[in-house]
Amino acid sequence: MAHPYHHAVHSVRLFGGEPGDYLAIHNWFDESKAHIADVRHRALRHHSEGIFLCEAIFGTTLTNSIGKIVPVRSIGEQHVKDDLGWIPSVKDWLQHLQLQPWMGQTPFRPQSDERAGVPG
């Protein structure tokens, strides 16, 4: 789906209420579009860990505008399935990431207290 609002409309069909009941969750899943505006943005939250993180942020359930209690995890699963057709794991995304030399190297080398001139 192209916009979080469309996900929210789909949530209304599944769970009842109004799009505004679900928009914050769907916006959260797609916030990464601000940093990479193509489908690769999905690698950051569109997976099983992202769904559980969403639940940790938004709570276990929400009560929509018609008073129905809806599991946040179900809303997250709906979002990911709307976009991908299934729920991948983080491994499913990262196993396709091409390793680069900079990923394993850092110029930072911690100093021991003794070398830093700090008495032990």
**Over the stretch 76-106, which tens digit does the pLDDT of each residue have?**
999 999 999 999 999 999 999 999 888 888 7
Q: What's the first-to-final CA gap in the chain, in angstroms?
A: 58
Contact 20, 9 (CB under 8 A): no
Q: Is 36 helix (H, G, I), strand (E, B) or coil?
A: coil
Contact 64, 15 (CB under 8 A): yes
List the beta bridge partners of residue 63.
69
d(CA 91, CA 4): 25
Mean pLDDT of 106-117: 68
Q: Which tokens is 118 given?
A: 């700090």
Whole-number percent of the chain with pLDDT over 70: 92
* Domain coordinates in residue numbering, the chain: 4-95
Concatenated DSSP letters for 45-73? TSSHHHHHHHHHHH-SEEE-TTS-EEEHH
Which pTM was predicted? 0.85
d(CA 86, CA 116): 52
Q: Which tokens is 37 given?
A: 């505006």
For the segment 17-26, what is each residue's pLDDT rounded down to a tens digit?
999 999 999 9
